[in-house]
């Protein structure tokens, strides 16, 4: 395929666009920020670099023309309702998502889902090939599009192709369950550089390439039959720390945080959880831990509030529906047992909030609770740190989040160990101000020196330096 004469020199390809197109009951169309960490991280990168973002606009059976947004080109890729069901809800989110997250839910393997995954990956590759200029850099994102690097290279060998996986890359033993393991691996090896959140993910990938694709591996480079090298390395993703910090110090946000504190009854201690409603986030275990602490009186329900907000996510996938019902039930049961009349110890909202409200919540949280069973990185942990310049905040963090490799001064927990988690929650809340301050200062230093700009620069510099 020939390069277009007016093509972009930098192209991001992701399942989601930064904005989702929604239509309300009256047929009114609007665009809103898409959910998830990928969009939070990449939007500032695109604002800074310009170029084109190729992705799905979130509405099935609708074709939308490309448009300009915040200084870059948005290029929508259409999906039919069947493709949403088979490629997105099916293969991406009921096969790959659980498989890559330690199989914490059972991965389903269906041949029709795989077929849809191949068709849709092809469409993304073709669209990217149409918008990328001669010799452009194309950066493909995440598990929904693992075949795109190889497909794109076949269409446009002139491109520099990078791939970044936002979620964990599983241990070899788990990956090998995938009936289409060979195709997925070859798809990824189409990239000049494959980025992972952790060194462990990159090591799993290199081991697979050596043992299962019979490729020569030297250091972090896999040798391809045509002499090309495909490199694999860890690039831990981050956030625009300064803009979160600025947002949290905006006078309007400060007012919002004071009003929120008032609304929840000015408790002495505020714990906070912020997640997409996903079974990988460890919500069942976390809420049980709080329930037991409130019921035993180790946390005083008249002085303590646990706020948990959960963005609706993938609501047509069975495991997510079950999770929603379980959490509703669990929270209702705990509140009905332990609440004073007039105030619930667990304030739970199944809703998405604006960035300003998120910053207001982070401001008032004495203890931020991030306890996924497995998570590629977890940007919420970093957002809390960036928003909390009162040095007495505390972060309770799962050992199984990618962020645990960097945020070493957090109060670490094994989210499967409910007693251990209860002890750590109490310790984080009651630790001496000097200890909390010391930990928080170290955490802020880490987050402010490892920003999203650094992440993008590190990856793109390395990608541009790759070659035969
Ligand atoms: P994931 O990518 O799995 O969703 P991350 O923690 O990396 O997990 O990123 C989640 C992103 O979604 C963060 O930027 C966070 O601020 C945002 N978010 C999470 N919950 C909510 C919510 N209830 N309302 C608005 N934004 C949310
Ligand atoms: O990496 C996490 C991630 O899966 C992104 O790929 C995705 O955009 C985000 O979470 C939200 O999920 P979804 O796009 O399925 O709503």
CA dist., res. 245 & res. 271, Å (int) = 20
Q: Which residues pair with 304 in a beta bridge?
A: 269
Ligand 1, atom nearest to 41 Cα:
14
pLDDT attached to residue 251: 97
CB atoms within 10 A of CB 67: 11
Q: What pLDDT score does 124 carry? A: 98
Give the separation between CA 276 and CA 283, rounded to whole angstroms: 10
What pLDDT, on a 0 to 100 scale, did the predictor assign at position 412? 98
Query: Which residues have C-beta within 8 Å of that of residue 226, sequence separation ≥ 6?
Result: none
pLDDT of residue 259: 97
- Which of 366, 370, 365, 364 has the alpha carbon at shortest distance from 436? 366
Report the nearest-CA residue for atom 20 of ligand 1. 275
Task: Report whether pLDDT(341) > 80.
Answer: no
Residue 468 has pLDDT above 60, yes or no: no
User: What pLDDT sits at residue 444?
Assistant: 97
Q: Calculate how far, in angstroms, residue 382's C-alpha sits from the geometric centre of ligand 2.
A: 17
Alpha-carbon span 459 to 353, nearest angstrom: 31
Q: Rounded CA gap, 363 and 248, in Å?
A: 7
Find the ligand nearest to 166 CA. Answer: 2
Q: How far is the CA of 355 from the centre of ligand 1 (A)?
A: 10
For 66-118, write each residue's pLDDT tens digit.
999 989 999 999 999 999 999 999 999 999 999 999 999 999 999 999 999 99
CA of 142 to the centre of ligand 2 (A): 8
User: CA-to-CA distance for 150 and 141, rounded, in angstroms?
Assistant: 13
What is the b/e burial string over 199-231, where b = at least 16 CB atoms within 10 angstroms of the residue's CB?
ebbbbbbbebbeeebebebeebbbebeeebbbb
Q: What is the 3-state secondary structure (H, E, C) of 209-246?
A: HHHCCCCCEECCEEECCCCCEEEEEECCCCCCHHHHHH
Dist. CA 190–CA 13, nearest whole Å: 15
Q: How far is the CA of 359 from the centre of ligand 1 (A)?
A: 12
Q: Count of CB atoms within 10 A of residue 448's CB?
A: 14
* Ligand closest to the CA atom of residue 280: 1
**Nearest residue (CA) to ligand 2, atom 10:** 36
Sorting pLDDT into bands at 50, 70 and 90, what band is 26? confident
CA of 194 to the centre of ligand 1 (A): 24
pTM of the prediction? 0.97
Q: How far is the CA of 325 from the centre of ligand 2 (A)?
A: 21
Question: Ligand 2 atom 15: the closest Cα is on which residue?
Answer: 314
Per the CB < 8 A criterion, the answer to whether 1 and 129 are in contact is yes
Q: Which residue has the CA at smallest separation from atom 7 of ligand 2?
A: 36
| Residue 161 · residue 154 · CB < 8 Å | no
CA–centroid distance, 51 to ligand 1, in Å, is 25
231 vs 273: CA distance, rounded Å: 36
Q: In whole angstroms, what is the distance from residue 429 CA to residue 262 CA?
A: 20
- Is the pLDDT confidence value at 13 over 80? yes
pLDDT band at 214 (very low <50, low <70, confident <90, very high): confident
Q: Are 123 and 144 in contact (CB under 8 A)?
A: no
Over residues 312-333, mean pLDDT: 96
What share of the chain in percent tops pLDDT 90? 89
List ligand 2's pocket residues with C-beta within 6 A. Answer: 16, 35-38, 142, 166-167, 313-314, 376
Q: How far is CA 241 from CA 248, 386, 390, in A?
A: 11, 5, 15
Nearest Cα neighbor of 331 from 298, 293, 287 is: 287
Ligand 1-lining residues (CB < 6 angstroms): 36-37, 40, 274-276, 309-311, 352-353, 358, 377-380, 383
Residue 296 near residue 422, CB atoms below 8 Å: no
Q: How far is CA 321 from CA 88, 278, 348, in A?
A: 16, 10, 17
User: What distance in angstroms lies between residue 227's CA and the mean position of ligand 1's atoms?
Assistant: 41
* Ligand nearest to the backbone CA of 18: 2
Distance 37 CA to ligand 2 centre (A): 7
Nearest one of 184, 42, 214, 9 to 194, comparing CA atoms? 184
For residue 83, give Cα distances in angstroms to 31, 57, 78, 90, 224.
Answer: 21, 13, 10, 9, 32
β partners of residue 19: 33
Residue 339 has pLDDT above 80, yes or no: no
Compute the distance between CA of residue 10 and CA of residue 170 in angstroms, rounded to an integer. 29
Whether 178 and 188 have beta carbons less than 8 Å apart is answered as: no
Phi, psi of 353 (to 5 degrees): -120, 160
Q: Which ligand is nearest to the CA of 33?
A: 1
pLDDT in tens, 231-283: 999 999 999 999 999 999 999 999 999 999 999 999 999 999 999 999 999 99
> Is residue 212 predicted with pLDDT exceeding 90?
no
* N-terminal to C-terminal alpha carbon distance within the chain: 22
Average pLDDT over the chain, rounded to an integer: 95
The angle subtended at Cα 377 by Cα 376 and Cα 380, nearest 5°, is: 130
Max Cα–Cα distance, the chain, nearest Å:
71
Pick from 19, 21, 35 the residue to mutate for probing ligand 2's pocket: most ligand atoms within 8 Å of its CB. 35
Q: Which of 3-7, 29-33, 241-245 has the highest mean pLDDT?
A: 241-245
Please give the number of the atom of ligand 1 that sits closest to the Cα of 352. 24
Question: Which residue, 246, 311, 245, is CA-closest to 273?
Answer: 311
**∠ at Cα 77 (72, 80), nearest 5°?**
155
């Amino acid at each position: 395929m020939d390069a277009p004469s007016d093509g972009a020199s930098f192209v991001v390809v992701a399942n989601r666009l930064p904005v989702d197109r929604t239509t309300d009951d009256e047929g009114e169309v609007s665009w809103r920020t898409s959910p998830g960490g990928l969009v939070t991280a990449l939007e500032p990168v695109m604002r800074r670099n310009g170029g084109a973002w190729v992705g799905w606009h979130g509405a099935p059976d609708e074709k939308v023309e490309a448009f300009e947004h915040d200084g870059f080109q948005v290029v929508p890729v259409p999906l039919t309702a069947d493709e949403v069901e088979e490629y997105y809800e099916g293969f991406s989110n009921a096969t790959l998502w659980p498989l890559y997250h330690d199989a914490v839910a059972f991965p389903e393997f269906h041949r029709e889902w795989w077929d849809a995954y191949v068709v849709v990956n092809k469409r993304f590759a073709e669209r990217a090939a149409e918008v990328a200029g001669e010799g452009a850099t194309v950066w493909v994102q995440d598990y929904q599009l693992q075949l795109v690097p190889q497909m794109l290279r076949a269409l446009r060998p002139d491109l520099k192709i990078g791939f970044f996986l936002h979620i964990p890359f599983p241990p070899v033993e788990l990956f090998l369950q995938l009936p289409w393991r060979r195709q997925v691996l070859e798809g990824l090896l189409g990239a000049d550089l494959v980025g992972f959140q952790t060194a462990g993910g990159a090591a799993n990938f290199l081991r697979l390439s050596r043992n299962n694709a019979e490729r020569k591996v030297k250091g972090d480079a896999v040798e391809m039959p045509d002499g090309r090298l495909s490199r694999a390395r860890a690039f831990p993703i981050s956030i625009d720390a300064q803009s979160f910090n600025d947002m949290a110090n905006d006078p309007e946000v400060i007012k919002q945080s004071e009003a929120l504190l008032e609304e929840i009854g000015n408790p002495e201690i505020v714990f906070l959880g912020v997640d997409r409603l996903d079974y990988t986030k460890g919500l069942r275990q976390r809420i049980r831990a709080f329930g037991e602490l409130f019921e035993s009186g180790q946390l005083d329900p008249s002085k303590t509030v646990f706020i948990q907000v959960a963005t609706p996510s993938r609501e047509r996938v069975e495991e997510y529906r079950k999770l929603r019902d379980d959490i509703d039930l669990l929270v209702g049961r705990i509140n009905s047992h332990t609440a004073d009349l007039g105030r619930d110890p667990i304030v739970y909202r199944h809703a998405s909030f604006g960035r300003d409200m998120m910053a207001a919540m982070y401001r008032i949280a004495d203890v931020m609770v991030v306890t996924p069973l497995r998570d590629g990185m977890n940007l919420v942990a970093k957002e809390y740190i960036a928003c909390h310049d009162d040095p007495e905040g505390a972060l309770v963090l799962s050992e199984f989040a990618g962020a645990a490799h960097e945020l070493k001064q957090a109060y670490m927990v094994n989210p499967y160990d409910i007693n251990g988690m209860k002890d750590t929650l109490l310790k984080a809340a009651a630790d001496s101000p000097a200890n909390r301050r010391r930990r928080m200062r170290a955490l802020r230093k880490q987050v402010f020196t490892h920003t999203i700009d650094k992440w993008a620069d590190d990856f793109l510099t390395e990608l541009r330096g790759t070659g035969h």
